Structure 1
Amino acid sequence: MIVEVDTASPVPAYEQIRAHLATMIETGVLASGTRLPPVRQLAADLGLAVNTAARAYQELERAGLVTSRVRHGTVVAPRKPIGQPEIRRRLAGAADSFAAIAGRLGVTPDEALDAVREALRR
């Protein structure tokens, strides 16, 4: 599993971890039942405090994306079907993020749409 944390970012490290893992879970990169690394291992791998990694996992558990059990670890929870309103909300959020990045990069709308079309083809 590849999780990166930008320590220079204004976004807290636990939120970066949470967001990255949530995206991987929601897109199916991490399937239901996939075991996540132990909190201590994740913290050590990223050079962070154990509490930082633990908070990311706690936030994921609150969102229903993972389940944690003592001595059994943290695993990706079974996926629940989502309705069209939630799908539209998530797509809008992803589109907003993408548009902001494209704007910062200075690309034209056509270049941005070409990038999306290419990503969807892959």
Structure 2
Amino acid sequence: MDIRVDPALAAPPFEQVRDQIAAQIMDGRLADQARLPAIRALATSLGLAANTVAKAYAELEASGLVVTAGRNGTRVVGQTVADAGLTEAADAYIAAARSRGLDTDALVSLVRTRAAS
């Protein structure tokens, strides 16, 4: 796992760590069930406080990309589990759009417009 924190960036260190780990999960560099480094070990290697890495891990867990199991550490969640959260969100979006009278074409158009911005 390759993570670099740049103090010159506007993004706080925990966001940089979170975003880089998330990117590595999403592009497959961190495989399903891969174990992330211990919080203290990663913090030490990056020159950060343990709480900074802990916050990044907590946000990754809240987003469904990793799961923490106490002394068993933090592991990458399989894409099928992570994708399930996205599927639920998509279903809720579709239901809300349909209740407002949007058809499939309007729904897709809205998503494309928002994704491009």
TM-score (norm 2): 0.69
Counterpart residue number, 2:39? 39
Percent identical across equivalent pairs?
44
Deviation at 1:78, TM superposition (A): 1.3
Counterpart residue number, 2:59? 59
Q: Distance in 1 between matches of 2:32 and 2:5?
A: 24
Deviation at 1:69, TM superposition (A): 1.2
Counterpart residue number, 2:96? none
Counterpart residue number, 1:72? 72
**Larger % of helix: which?**
2
Extract structure 1 runs of 4+ deviating beyond 4 A. 82-85
CA RMSD of aligned residues (A): 2.1
Give CA-to-partner distance per residue, 1:44-72, whole Å, 9 cap, x none: 00000000000000000000000001110
Q: What is the SS of the residue equivalent to 1:35?
A: coil
Determine if the alignment matches structure 1 residue 19 to structure 2 residue 10. no
Larger Rg, first or second structure (1 or 2): 2
Deviation at 1:22, TM superposition (A): 0.4
Q: What is the SS of the residue equivalent to 2:79?
A: coil
Deviation at 1:27, TM superposition (A): 1.0
Structure 2 gaps of 5+ residues are: 91-107
Deviation at 1:9, TM superposition (A): 1.2
Give CA-to-partner distance per residue, 1:20-48, whole Å, 9 cap, x none: 00011011111110000000000000000
Q: What is the SS of the residue equivalent to 1:34?
A: coil
Determine if the alignment matches structure 1 residue 5 to structure 2 residue 14. no
Counterpart residue number, 1:50? 50
1:74-113 to structure 2, matched below 5 A, reads 74-80=74-80, 81=83, 92=115
Q: Distance in 2 between matches of 1:21 and 1:34?
A: 12
TM-score (norm 1): 0.67
